[in-house]
Amino acid sequence: MAKEGHPITISQACRWSGLPRRSFYYRSRRQPPKLNEVLAQRVKRVIDALPYAVYRTVAYLLGENKNTIQRLMKLKGWQCRKRAIGFRPRVEAKRSVADAPNKRWSTDIARVWCGEQDRWAALTLVMDCHTREVLGWSLSKRGNAKSAVAALEDALLTRYGTIGKVTAGLQLRSDNGLVFTSKLYTGRHTNMG
């Protein structure tokens, strides 16, 4: 329009187009990230020597800030390999009902208050879904896989009198949390049959 003899101001053009004026004047000020190449070489030597080391370990060994090391490792693409997660089958949302005892057991972990001295603890239960009887339990400070294995072994001792093989067709159901998909727990579960 200015060439045709109708000069318009920037504010008029922005008003007609529905844009704020600051959008017209905006210029990106983002600069490429700065890298300390000397520090990068030191980090690379540590990673080559200790390929399992995460950024916190590298920062500790070099005496540097962990956030700086993490940022440098991210920019260079040196993030440590994550542990492979095994297959986690998803449970269909259906009621845990069994038509006879020892057909389906259910297990879970709950946090319970144990008073001011002991504070919170983890209670792991194994329950028969037909009789709704608690077969095994374990109370521990940490709700780890050892506690879940102890509850499972307690249930086996209660129901069968031994930790060995169980009757065919027994299903053990859980919420597929970290504890119940750990190597220790799944190893015990597969060993029991």
**Mean predicted confidence (pLDDT) in 66-71:** 90
Q: Which residue has the higher pLDDT, 81 or 38?
A: 38
CB distance 184 to 149 below 8 Å: yes
Residue 22 has pLDDT above 90, yes or no: no
Amino acid at 8: I
> For position 39, what pLDDT does the model report?
93
Rounded CA gap, 182 and 115, in Å?
A: 30
Listed in sequence order, the DSSP H helices in 18-128 are: 21-25, 37-49, 55-62, 66-76, 115-118
Burial (0-12, 13-18, 19+ Cβ within 10 Å), 117? exposed
pLDDT 10s digits, 24-61:
888 778 888 888 999 999 999 998 888 778 888 899 99
Structure tokens at 61: 């060994």
* 148-191: pLDDT as tens digits: 999 988 988 888 888 777 777 788 888 878 888 888 888 887 77
pLDDT at 191: 75
Helix (H) or strand (E) holding 184: helix 183-191
Coil/strand/helix, residue 147: helix
pLDDT digit string (tens) for 99-155? 888 888 889 999 888 888 878 899 999 998 888 899 999 998 888 889 999 998 898
86 pLDDT tier (thresholds 50, 70, 90) = low
Predicted confidence at residue 92, as pLDDT, reads 60
Residue 83 scores a pLDDT above 60:
no
DSSP 70-85: HHHHHHHT-PPPPPPP
Q: For position 60, what pLDDT does the model report?
A: 92
Which CATH architecture is the domain 104-191 placed in? 2-Layer Sandwich (3.30)
- Do the Cβ atoms of 105 and 136 come closer than 8 Å? no
- pLDDT for res 89: 59
More confident residue, 92 or 116: 116
Rg of the chain taking only CA atoms, in angstroms: 30
In this predicted structure, the answer to whether residue 2 has a pLDDT above a threshold of 80 is no
Check residue 105 and give its pLDDT: 87
Domain boundaries, the chain: 37-76, 104-191
- pLDDT at 168 (0 to 100): 77
- Please answer whether residues 108 and 115 qualify as being in contact, where contact means their C-beta atoms are separated by less than 8 angstroms: no
Q: Which two tokens stand for residue 41?
A: 């070489």
Q: What is the pLDDT of residue 85?
A: 62
